[in-house]
């Protein structure tokens, strides 16, 4: 819950476009980051290697708008903002798991098909 996010959390994720996509480019990774409890903006930036603040803000705002996360501002100095998964956000975990299972099981076939297609 309170341990920092692994900077290499997504190091072993497939770089190729998987056929199943949850939300925008970053949505599923953000959800993964929030699994163990609320996280701060800069905390999220760590495993999301190189994401720019603008893009992270856009993704988080879209998720907030759709009711997937809540955004809580604590009136302190320095400022503190925490993002947390909602119940609705958690309902995406099932589809996400199904997506990962599909990828584990069938990505090799897809890559084989691509290689075969490219070899003509």
Partner DNA sequence: CGGTATCCACGGGGATACTG
Partner DNA sequence: CAGTATCCCCGTGGATACCG
Q: Binding residues for DNA, per CB under 7 A?
A: 24-26, 40-43, 50-55, 57-60, 71, 78-82
Give the N- to C-terminal CA distance of the chain in Å, as an integer: 51
Q: CA distances (Å), 103 to each of 8, 13, 79, 90, in order?
A: 20, 10, 40, 20
120 binds its own copies (CB under 8 A): no
Query: Cβ distance 9 to 51 under 8 Å?
Result: no
Which of DNA, its own copies, none does 51 bind, CB closer than 5 to 8 A by kind?
DNA
Q: Measured from the CB atom, is 105 or 120 closer to DNA?
A: 120
Least distance to its own copies from the beta carbon of 13, Å?
A: 17
DSSP H or E stretch at residue 69: strand 69-74
Q: Measured from the CB atom, is 6 or 112 closer to its own copies?
A: 112
Least distance to its own copies from the beta carbon of 20, Å?
A: 5
For 119, the token pair is 């070899």
At residue 30, φ and ψ (nearest 5 deg) are -65, -45
Chain residues in the site for its own copies (CB under 8 A): 19-23, 27, 64-68, 88, 91-92, 94-95, 98-99, 102, 105-106, 109-110, 112-114, 116-117
């Amino acid at each position: 819950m309170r341990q920092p996010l692994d900077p290499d959390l997504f190091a072993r994720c497939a770089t190729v476009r998987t056929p199943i996509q949850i939300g925008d480019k970053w949505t599923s990774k953000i959800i993964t980051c929030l699994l163990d409890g609320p996280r701060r903006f800069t905390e999220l930036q760590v495993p999301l290697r190189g994401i720019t603040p603008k893009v992270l803000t856009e993704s988080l705002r879209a998720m907030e708008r759709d009711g997937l996360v809540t955004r809580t501002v604590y009136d302190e100095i320095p400022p503190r903002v925490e993002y947390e998964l909602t119940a609705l956000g958690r309902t995406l975990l099932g589809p996400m798991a199904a997506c990962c299972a599909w990828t584990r099981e069938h990505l090799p076939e897809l890559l084989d098909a691509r290689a075969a297609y490219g070899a003509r």
